[in-house]
Amino acid sequence: MKDINFNTIFNDIFIELQPMENPGVAASYIPELAKIDPDKFGIHLSHVDKGDFYQGDSNERFSIQSISKVFSLTLAMRLIGGNLWSRVGVEPSGTAFNSLVQLEVENGIPRNPFINAGAIVVCDVLMTYLDNPKVELLDFIRTIANNPSLEYNQRVAESEKNTSDRNKALIYLMRDFGNIHNDVDEVLDLYFYLCSIEMNCCELAHSFMFLVTAGMDEASGEMIISPSQAKRINAIMQLCGFYDEAGEFAFKVGLPGKSGVGGGIVAVHPGKYAIAVWSPRLNRKGNSYMGMKALELFTTKTEDSIF
């Protein structure tokens, strides 16, 4: 990487994005998410040897939604290792995050752990192996993030529970195929809890640093997962982190990453940095419109991606 001034790059990105029209729309199928100011914008870079850089609303917490599926996957891999892959695949789906179409023909085995069906199976695994899944999952996320103040948002979790027909359809179909082993309402409760966790861009970038440092915790130096497991999670993020827009994200940004319908995106450059961006207006595929643009500009201006 050439010698880069990240402050200048962030300023330039801000100046380029500000006059741009944003055709995106904030998620409203979870009513509580529609209450957020859709024009928020924050970005935070955590670099292994150059430190931290940020702009805009980077210190304001928001609903991280599907981004948290990276944490639940990490915990499930710690608990059962490779046995997870008999319950959920590692292939891109090429379909929407909440699609039902492949599940029927593929015998209730979700394509990957980031589509809703896959994340629900991961929650089912956590229910089986943890005594107190909600508490232990939040504790794990707090440990990874080195931040004991992280919390879930009960209003968002309830809002999602009240509008959960599609996730219910997914879990019942999977149970019929024998791929759900616990009580469906309890599994869904854990899933909604997971999705309603809130973080800001700074916290998100730091919580993904273990995927930059081959599984090592930033603060303690302890291994959260093995280097091989970190490689695998990054590979799944690259191929499945943006659902039916994973190709577009690889093409334009060129980093493994994960989005959420709260408008957040986190991307990692293994060995170098984690970057988180937040802008609630989503494109038609459910990914942050400006978030994708900002990251595209970032890897273009730094002339550095994993490719």
From the list 128, 191, 181, the residue with the least C-alpha distance to 161 is: 191
Strands (E), 48-98: 51-56, 62-63
**Residue 234 sits in the site that holds ligand DON (CB under 6 A):** no
From the list 11-19, 43-51, 201-209, 255-263, the region that binds ligand DON by CB under 6 A is 255-263
Sign of the CA dihedral with 12 first, then 15, 21, and 22 last:
positive
Q: Which is nearer to ligand DON, 98 or 128 (CB)?
A: 98
Structure tokens at 305: 């991606």
Q: Which of these ranges, 127-135, 210-218, 231-239, 258-266, lies near ligand DON under the rule CB under 6 A?
A: 258-266
Which C-beta is closer to ligand DON: that of 31 or that of 302? 31
Residue 163 structure tokens:
């509008």
Among 37-45, 86-94, 198-206, 256-264, the segment contacting ligand DON (CB under 6 A): 256-264
Among 118, 260, 263, 280, binds ligand DON (CB under 6 A): 260
- Using the contact rule CB under 6 A, the part of the chain among 47-55, 101-109, 257-265, 267-275 near ligand DON is 257-265
CB-nearest residue to ligand DON = 66
Among 167, 179, 213, 299, binds ligand DON (CB under 6 A): 167
Measured between alpha carbons, how far is residue 32 from residues 240, 285, 302 in Å?
Answer: 26, 20, 36
Output the six-digit token pair for 50: 């150059």
Residue of the chain from 32, 57, 160, 244 that contacts ligand DON (CB under 6 A):
160
- Using alpha carbons, select from 92, 91, 72, 35 the residue that is nearest to residue 195: 72
Binding mask 114-153 for ligand DON (x = CB under 6 A): --x-------------------------------------
Is 297 near ligand DON (CB under 6 A)? no
159 binds ligand DON (CB under 6 A): no
Reported as type and span, the H/E element at residue 264 is strand 264-269
What's the CA gap between 245 and 249, in Å, rounded? 6
Q: Which two tokens mark 46?
A: 């955590």
- Asked if 109 contacts 133 with a C-beta cutoff of 8 angstroms, the reply is no
Binding site for ligand DON (CB under 6 A): 65-66, 97-98, 116, 160, 167, 195, 259-261, 286-287
